Amino acid sequence: MFVVVGVTGGIAAYKTVQLVRLLVKAGHEVHVVPTDDALRFVGLPTWEAISRHPVTTSVHDDVARVRHVSLGQSADLVIVAPATANTLAKMTAGIAEDLLGTTLLATTAPVVVAPAMHTEMWRHPATVHNMAVLRERGVIVVGPEDGELTGGDSGPGRMSEPEVVLAAALAAVGASAPGDLAGLRVVVSAGGTREPIDPVRFIGNRSSGRQGIAVALAAADRGADVVLVAAHVEEGVLAEASVRPSVRIVSAGTAEELGTVMAAEAASADVVVMAAAVADYRVAEVSPLKRSKDAAPEGGITLDLVENPDILAGLVRGRRGGQTIVGFAAETPGEGETLLDRGRRKAARKGTDLLAVNEVGWARGFESPDNAVTVIDAAGEVVAARRGSKRDVAEALWDAVLAVRPDQQLTQSRANPK
Ligand code: C5P
């Protein structure tokens, strides 16, 4: 979501730093528009660093891109926090003497304000009138709270806490509450490894990376810090992940490279998801030169393959305390056995906390936008089953992860899955 956060000149601007941080962590594109006065409380470098976008107060900067209206036009949501009595008055009158004023006039997005001022100012008939006008226009007002104010006064006037402003703002645009994975560091592998034969050939597989990337994006949208370890993925599927501030992408080509990256990244992760299709074998001797048919025996050649280490099993062996490890099992069940039988045996062998089992075949599982998985826990019990888009499957997987994590009571369950 494209979110504009207006900041005006109150001491509570320090709380808005946290608000912006929460929005960015939840994967939103955040543009901060402070007033000149706001910058006396929290400086421009802080806003730029935390929002990861350039920040200006003036309508005269970046004129070529018509910034004075483009921000408001692009916004899906505008939050003004803190909103001083002065800014609320200007909003009521439609005064547009700075970038925040023009942005507010140019937007048709929901506007949420979090007032902060002394009690006398909040209760002044002018402010009371302004708030009534703004409410009537559809502006959503969060707070102010009753409590201690600067200078030792107390009463209504404290800006609501950032989490409260965020929840109200997201509710205003119909977004589900973020952050049931907030604070978790998550590593997800995706795509298929390629095992070289020579400089131009490899042994690969049909994994597109879509399921793993959907798992990574769902985690990011639910507030996690995500490392996406990408083996070979289909053209274009990384685009969305590559612009998410809370997703860091690391590339890995072969199973060995993937293993090295996963081991390093898992060392600081709370949850590891191995969605990559890792080649079980690699070519014993990779030819430094392109293998030529001329030098090959007549009728065919034989490639010696050696087994790759099982990365997932290795991660389970080296897991840190409290870490949840999730595997995928793409299966083509044979005669006389079910998909679940195979999944259960695999879960026991690998020691995963959760294993997402899905049937694959010539026309099933790979490359398609949809998937159907059954998730089993360490005891082989089915804890979730979902058929739908790869994103739906990803959401169900994260619900299952939360349910098995020891800290699950600290996290609220996701009430409104997308
Ligand atoms: O044994 P199988 O390949 O079916 O196991 C699938 C799961 O194990 C996936 O999560 C996959 O990422 C992981 N795996 C691995 N290292 C391998 C082979 C598979 O981590 N060498």
pLDDT tens digit sequence for 57-67: 887 776 666 67
Q: Which of 130, 205, 358, 371 is catalytic?
A: 205
Q: What is the mean pLDDT of residues 23-30?
A: 88
Q: Predicted confidence band at 178 (pLDDT cuts at 50, 70, 90)? A: low
Per-residue model confidence as pLDDT tens digits over 58-93:
877 766 666 778 899 999 999 999 999 999 999 999
Question: Given ligand 1 and candidates 188, 258, 311, which is best to mutate, with the most ligand atoms within 8 Å of its CB?
Answer: 311
Topology match between the domains 2-172 and 185-410: yes
pLDDT score of 416 more than 60: no
What is the CATH architecture assignment of 2-172?
3-Layer(aba) Sandwich (3.40)
Per-residue model confidence as pLDDT tens digits over 263-315:
999 999 999 999 999 999 999 999 999 999 998 999 999 999 999 999 999 99
Give the whole-angstrom CA distance, residue 70 versus residue 61. 12
Closest ligand 1 atom to residue 330 Cα is 4
CATH number 3.40.630.30 given to 185-410: no
- Give yes or no for a contact between 231 and 192, defined as CB atoms under 8 angstroms apart: yes
**Structural domain boundaries in the chain:** 2-172, 185-410
For residue 385, how far is its CA from the centre of ligand 1 (angstroms)?
Answer: 20
Residue 311 CB–ligand 1 contact under 6 Å:
yes
205 annotated active-site: yes
Residue 308 CB–ligand 1 contact under 6 Å:
yes
For residue 189, how far is its CA from the centre of ligand 1 (angstroms)?
Answer: 11
For residue 278, how far is its CA from the centre of ligand 1 (angstroms)?
Answer: 6
- For 25, phi and psi rounded to 5 degrees? -60, -30
- Burial class of residue 292, CB neighbours in 10 A (0-12, 13-18, 19+): exposed
Residue 327 CB–ligand 1 contact under 6 Å:
yes
Q: Predicted confidence band at 370 (pLDDT cuts at 50, 70, 90)? A: confident
For residue 328, how far is its CA from the centre of ligand 1 (angstroms)?
Answer: 7
Give the whole-angstrom CA distance, residue 242 versus residue 53. 16
